[in-house]
Amino acid sequence: MGKKTASHLISKVFSYLLFFLLVISSSGWTQPVTGLAGGNDSIQIKLVSPSSVESVVSKKPLIKCIIEGEFAPSSLLVLLDGIDITGAIEIESGGFSFRPVQVLPAGGHTLSVTIQTPQGFQVQKTFTFNTRHTSEFEEAYSGNNLSLLYEAVIEKPDDVTSIPHSKFLANLNSNLKVKEKAWSLNFSTNIRFIDQNLPVYQPEKKGLNLANYLLTIKYDKSPFTVGADMGDLQLNETMNTVQYLARRGGRFYLKYDDLQVNTFVVHSQQVFGFREGPGIEGTTDDHIIGVSVEKTFVEGRYKLKTVYVTGGEKGSSFGIFAPGGGKKGDVIGLFGTATFLEGKLNAEAEVDFSSFDADTSDEFDAEEDIAYRLKLGGYAGNINYSAVYEYMGSDYEVIGNQGLQKNREGFSLNGGITIRQYHSLNLAYSLYHDNVDDNELYPTVYTSQAMLTYSFNGIPNMPITLSYQHSLLDSTDEPDIAYIVRTDTDVFSSNISYMRNRWNLALQTSHSIQNDRTENGNDSTTTTVTFTPSYFSDNFSLTSNFSFNRSRFPNNNQRSDTYTVNIDMRGKTYHKRISYELAGTYNRMKASDGSAEQDTFNSNFRISYLLARNLWGYLNPSVGIRGLYNKSNDRVYSGENEELVFLFVFTADMPFSF
């Protein structure tokens, strides 16, 4: 922990805690407001404003009610659109008023007022009213949240170089919306400022930067819809073409009745900040361009879609690894779905043709290949089923879809049944193999898996699940003995949970047996038991995890035991002004032959005090202390390391809208 003494550290921490106590004692508390009391048993609740007849033009309309009669002040409950606003209302002579701090969404609203008479009778009245933001636009508002973080080291060891001595981070989250009739415009962004004495992790940079943004313009009036998006997009076309592609660029789409056309152009590399531009300018060498046309028939029961995507990547970027030179390729896909017998039979088919050059700097041309799949499934009463057949060529690749599992062929089956609501049985089987071109230089490895799962829900708050899984790896046509794979694995597992009130107790167990049928004989068994109790309340939560894992290796008569404990505790107290967090992980691993024995303990904790709530109507500043404690002990090689870090933390949260 360095050369400084423990007494010096304790005195420093004590000084900061004393500072917190002085802040707490100097901050003022808002006195509770006294309610009203009438003189008779008959209570009348009237809405003075807004008008329940005409639409009110206001982003933050004044809500005012008159209460006539005697009632218990502490029983007053006011809900606006289902949200409790009782603590924010202003008690006035003969009633109460409330003006929202944030912009109230346009449209219809419901105000519910509930009170109780001294005799114990409850009276409730519900009002409705409508608002629009301006006379020109139904909606026109900007919702924002500015968050600030400042951290400064109180104490840390000299050898801890990953934590900066000081750090300042500011983030502005902004959402703008304008809407009138069929037209709408949405703009969202996160602007970030960061400064610290150490380098920041890529792709972030010090100073002011743009984390993300998205601009959407749309006209929607049935049966015609047209729209455009620009910024950080997520694109999904089909499973084997473009799926979950998150890039910066632009998209334009239009829909008329059952016909939809979608086009996009995005930067092929991951970009961050202001410097990369909107992502739509450039060529197909560093951009991905796509177009799709989709048509539905017979009330949506049949759908046909065609996709074309082309583009290239010039090299590696954040989250993308591109060895060698650049990449370039294109793909054409056909996709269709059909629904028969009211959902009892659903069909899905896709065929795709790709041309892909994995390295544009070499002398080899692009490789062409094909991928296709067919899926059937459906349900009939308490029975559900599905069957999938897939083929993906060894040279099939698509720009921007790195998750494709090429060089693969096989099928999977799945079926389930529910019996008397309490019993569920599910059976799944799959068989796949690689080396679809039968290349003599490589073996063909078959992977099969069968799984049976039983679930019981007959005991209230106590679901039970039991499962058995058998997996097999088997190679054929091996060019050399080193390529031989023969492995069977059986896994038995169970899961039982008990949920009552705020408690949730879960117990998971599993036991696996691996049989290596090659000459190596690397058999093994693994047993894992995990207990996860958790408790949740309004101002306190506790989640813990206790796990034991034992692995045995009969070939050399060895075993390895691992014990793991995780705890996460969070809460608020002292009128929700004091917040605290404590999280830690303890891990102990020991091998029976004495080759390994190690303990690790990692924890972090935080305590903060809310200086003011809604200061000037917006600001919520807090001060606190955050700590890190890490310790590792290698009992075999007598290596021990211990770190204790204390940081002063100031945070502020300021939501505002206009």
Residues 476, 477, 483, 484, Cα dihedral to 10°: 40
User: 479 near 507, Cβ under 8 Å?
Assistant: no
Residue 602 has a pLDDT of: 96
3-state SS string over 280-296? CCCCCCCEEEEEEEEEE
CB within 8 A of 25, min separation 6: which ones? none
* pTM of the full structure: 0.82
User: 478 near 486, Cβ under 8 Å?
Assistant: no
Other beta carbons within 10 Å of 376: 14
User: 169 near 156, Cβ under 8 Å?
Assistant: no
| Element housing 544 (H / E) | strand 540-553
Residue 32 has a pLDDT of: 33
**C-alpha 634: how far from its chain's center?**
36
Residue 36 has a pLDDT of: 38
| Chain length of the chain | 658
Instruction: Pick the closest to residue 337 from 326, 348, 321, 322 (CA basis).
Output: 348
Report residue 278 as tokens: 């909107």
Which residues does the chain have with pLDDT short of 70? 1-42, 316-324, 482
CB within 8 A of 283, min separation 6: which ones? none
Instruction: Pick the closest to residue 484 from 513, 448, 520, 456 (CA basis).
Output: 520
Other beta carbons within 10 Å of 277: 12
Please return the burial class of 430, using the count of CB atoms within 10 Å of its CB with bins 0-12, 13-18 and 19+: middle
318: Cα within 13 Å, side-chain hemisphere = 11
Strands (E), 537-638: 540-553, 558-573, 578-591, 597-610, 620-634
Residue 120 has a pLDDT of: 75
| Element housing 244 (H / E) | none
Interatomic CA distance for residues 227 and 625, integer angstroms: 48
Give tens-digit pLDDT for 214-248.
Answer: 999 999 999 999 999 999 999 999 999 999 999 99
